[in-house]
Each structure stands twice: as C-alpha cells, then as structure tokens.
C-alpha cells in the first residue's frame, strides 16, 4: 500500500487528503487539521502531491518539498471544468493526466 499521488484540498483549518497508488486504487482518504498536515505527509514515502493553485499553496509547496515530496499545482479553472460540486481532492488526482 504505497501512496504514489496525494491530492490535498487546502482550507483554513481542516484539510482533506486523498491518496492513490500508481494504478489509481484509492488507499488514503483522511480529514486532517492544519496542525497535523505536515506530520501526516512526513509519515508517507516520497510521492507527488497535487494542490489547488492559490496563494497558500506556495507555502505548503515549500513545506512538502522540504520533506522530499514533489508537488503539482492545479488551477481553479481547470479543476472546476471537471467537478460540478464542492472541492474534491480525489478529482485532482483523477484529472492529473487531463490536458
């Protein structure tokens, strides 16, 4: 059960994490408070982390890269094109190959 990709819905206090294996099988779906995000990510093996592109994403990018992870930014417009509901980090991962 090695997580290859993690999608994170950034929020003010509570973040949603959704992780999948390299073949797309969901293995992680967790709600984490802001204080525990870095601890959760630090416990994982190095993987690609997808976050929505917003001003806070660059802070988290530096934190994740310091822990040895790669990151991908997804623009709000691109994400909204595929999702007709609230923010869903699992869609960030599902749409990572969509151009």
> Is there a contact between 49 and 70 (Cβ–Cβ < 8 Å)?
yes
Neighbours of 7 (CB within 10 A): 28
Q: What confidence score (pLDDT) does residue 77 get? A: 44
Is residue 99 in some structural domain? no
- Of 74 and 70, more confident: 70
> Poorest-confidence range of 6-10, 25-29, 83-87?
83-87
| Whether the predicted model's global pTM rises above the 0.85 cut | no
What percentage of the chain has pLDDT greater than the value 70? 73
Domain holding 79: CATH number?
A: 3.30.420.140
Residue with tokens 């991908």: 72
pLDDT level of residue 24 (50, 70, 90 thresholds) = confident
Strands 70-74 and 48-52: parallel
Domain that holds residue 60: 5-94
Looking at the DSSP assignment, which residues form a beta bridge with residue 8? 17, 51
Q: What confidence score (pLDDT) does residue 30 get? A: 92
* Domains in the chain, number: 1
Is residue 27 in some structural domain? yes
């Amino acid at each position: 059960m090695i997580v290859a990709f993690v999608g994170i819905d950034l929020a003010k206090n509570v973040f949603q994490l959704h992780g999948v294996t390299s073949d797309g099988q969901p293995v992680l779906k967790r709600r984490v408070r802001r204080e525990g995000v870095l601890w959760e990510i630090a416990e994982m093996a190095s993987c690609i982390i997808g976050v929505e592109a917003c001003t806070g994403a660059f802070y988290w990018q530096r934190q994740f890269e310091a822990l040895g992870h790669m990151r991908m930014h997804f623009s709000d417009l691109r994400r909204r094109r595929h999702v007709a509901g609230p923010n869903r980090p699992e869609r960030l991962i599902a749409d990572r190959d969509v151009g």
